[in-house]
Amino acid sequence: MRKRGCQNLGILFFCTIFLKMLCYGLFFFAISSKIGKRHLRIRRWIGKQREGVFMIPLWIWIIAVLLVVGIAVAVLLSSYENKRLTVEYYEIESEKIPEAFDGYRIVFLTDLHCAQFGENNQELIERIDECRPDMILVGGDMVISRESSNEEVPLALMKELSAKYPIYYADGNHELKLARNEEIFGVRYKDYVHSLKEYNIHHISNETIVIQSETGFISLTAFDLEKKYYQRFHVPRMPLSHMESVVGSSPGNIFHILLAHNPNYLKTYADWGSDLVLAGHFHGGMVRIPKFGGVISPQFQIFPKYDAGEFHEGETTMILSRGLGNHSIKLRLFNKPEISCIELKKRD
């Protein structure tokens, strides 16, 4: 009996275990089939996405990756280059340069657009000092004609430089925009010019002045171009008669420097009788490709004829600076900010 009882208890025990396992099995089967279905749906969805993704041709993938990497490299390189000042040295020879100006050094600054090199532009000032200039010529666009901007940075720079060097300042399209739009910018331009004059800076506009040394002199003209000559996509022709009507006739046989912010009109400047034209505005074409030069001008000219460096038209030389800063698109590639250091040489 005991044995049988034990056997019955054993059978009951195993039956209970079996039933429990059966219940657990059914339960897990039910659960797993639900999960399985869901899992299947997820797998199908992922499959579809993968199918879609892998349907894009490989060459598009390669271009997309190269573009992303290229943009990242360009942004990093540009932020590096924007701060790497360079001094470009030029020699201008002419029989018209008087003895007294043989070896005379000019620093030409343009297109600062409120940029700073070191605290309070100390790095910029030190690099200008390296050139040991006899005078500084400013080609304009030291400011940014935007409501959110102000003239503190260029004024602080001009004030410090004016304590060391004589400075002659001509306007660019940004100063002229401030001047022509008082309803937007108020009296910012008037205040700016007033401050320049307080620092004994010669602000010149559509006029010719004489720069005298003890035994000789040269002449300097600032030519402010009208708004239409700065329009985008289209470069209107500028007749010589227009230039003459604005700045008068050229000073003839005297060695003559023209400050004209826009380089597009070298032919007109040469016909007028400039010996040396100093221009900016194009920021070196923003991105410079070796052997091709600058890619785009602020007037959206692709591969502009004049981008940066020295150009010649008849007897006239134009030095076109890459400028110091930028405004709307802060991009510079293979195009470091420039201080132009120019030495005049008398040709025998």
Residues that bind Fe ion (CB under 5 A): 141, 172-173, 281
With b meaning 16 or more CB within 10 Å and e meaning fewer, what string describes 117-143?
A: beeebeebeebbeebebbbbbbbbbbb
Say which residue the tokens 């000092």 belong to.
129
Q: How far is the CB of 177 from Fe ion (least distance, A)?
A: 10
Counting Cα atoms < 13 Å in the Cβ hemisphere of 283 gives 25
Enclosing H/E stretch for 316 = strand 316-320
How far is Cα 315 from Cα 98, in angstroms, rounded to an integer?
17
Q: How far is the CB of 173 from Fe ion (least distance, A)?
A: 5
Q: How far is the CB of 324 from Fe ion (least distance, A)?
A: 12
Q: How far is the CB of 261 from Fe ion (least distance, A)?
A: 6
Q: Report residue 245 as tokens.
A: 């009507």
Residue nearest to Fe ion (CB): 281
How far is Cα 184 from Cα 223, in angstroms, rounded to an integer?
24
Q: How far is the CB of 214 from Fe ion (least distance, A)?
A: 36
Evaluated on CA atoms 158, 160, 161, 163, the torsion sign reads: positive
Q: Which is nearer to Fe ion, 281 or 336 (CB)?
A: 281
Q: How far is the CB of 196 from Fe ion (least distance, A)?
A: 18
Q: Which is nearer to Fe ion, 281 or 288 (CB)?
A: 281
Q: Which is nearer to Fe ion, 175 or 275 (CB)?
A: 175
Q: Which is nearer to Fe ion, 127 or 281 (CB)?
A: 281
Q: Which is nearer to Fe ion, 324 or 344 (CB)?
A: 324
Give residues with Cβ within 8 angstroms of 73, minimum separation 6: none
Residue 228 DSSP label = G
Q: For residue 19, what are the β-bridge partners?
A: none
Q: Which is nearer to Fe ion, 92 or 277 (CB)?
A: 277
